[in-house]
Structure formats: C-alpha cells, structure tokens
Amino acid sequence: MSMSIGLKPIVPDKLPILDVDGAKDHYARALNVVIEKADDDFAETTRTWKTKPSFVLRKASAANLKAVVYTTNEIYFYVVRGTRAHPIAAKSGGMLRFRAGYRAKTRPGVIRSYSGGGFGRSIYARQVRHPGTKARDFDKAIANRLKTALTTEMRLANKRIAQSTQR
C-alpha cells in the first residue's frame, strides 16, 4: 500500500520585494540620529570647562552600520572613570599653587557641566595628597538615556522599510 502527500504553496499574486540596501540606509539614518544626540550629550558634559576635549563623531552608513562618538583626551578619561587617591609633587623643586576650596563642575551620572572650580585663598605646597575623583560615568548615563531614543528610531526605520516594500 502506498500513500502520496502533496503540498501546494499558497503564494500571493505579488510578493513584496525587500530592498536590502534601502533598509540598511534607513537603519544608518536612525543610528545617526541617536549618535548625534550622544555627541550633544558628551559636549554638554564639558560645556563649562576652560579646556574642552574634542570629540570625534563617526556616522553610520549603509555599508557600515556602526556609529561611534569618542575622545582620546586623557583628562576626560580620568573624569569619566575616576581616579584613586594619589600624591602630586611640584616639578623641579618648585611649588604647587591651588585654592583652599574647590567645587566640582560635574557630578556622577549627570549629563551636565556646572560652574565651579577653585575658590578661596591660595595655598602653596611642595607636595599634596589628592583624594581622588569619583567616576562620573558619563558614557553609561548617556547610553542609558539613549536606549529609548534608539528603540524609537529603529521602530520608525522598520515602519519606513515596511512602507517601501508595499509599493
């Protein structure tokens, strides 16, 4: 005894055509909207600094769906990651000069830069023990802030891609 089973695919009259390059372009534009917001946020963290680090912004393209903003500034790295307590000595037998009081221009986890700096009478010393700096973690705060924006932009990109395949 034999049995035969047949399958007949049900295919719509007109199949949607997905333009992969067009889809990649939509995703690149969405990434660029978000990375520009990140760039603005990083700039905001140094708005009141006298010597501002430069940030490099590399946008995404359809060929490279990766967007990044970064700096190679060593001082910014110390502020973002924090420092341990450490001694600071004057160079060549000279003296250090600093103010008696200090108000930080940034706060941990806050994407903003305030007025601040040294105040009060000047103090001179050959060496001091710096208490260290608490990590500001700007990169983590910015990433958390932009999660919603990235989700929104990707959903909009998906809608645009879906609309373009229905034509």
- DSSP labels, 9-43: ----SS-----HHHHHHHHHHHHHHHHHHHHHHHH
Q: What is residue 28's predicted lDDT score, i.e. its pLDDT?
A: 92
Residue 158 in any domain: the answer is yes
Residue 15 in any domain: the answer is no
Query: Are 90 and 96 a contacting pair, CB within 8 Å?
Result: yes
Query: Are 137 and 108 a contacting pair, CB within 8 Å?
Result: yes
Residue 1 in any domain: the answer is no
Residue 87 in any domain: the answer is yes
Domain total in the chain: 1
Give the model confidence (pLDDT) of 13-43 as tens digits.
665 667 788 889 999 999 999 999 999 999 9
Q: List the domain range (segments joined by +) for residue 70.
A: 20-165
> For the whole model, what pTM was predicted?
0.81
- Separation of CA 130 from chain center: 29
Residue 94 in any domain: the answer is yes
Residue 10 in any domain: the answer is no
Give the model confidence (pLDDT) of 70-100 as tens digits.
999 999 999 999 999 999 999 987 999 999 9
Residue 75 in any domain: the answer is yes
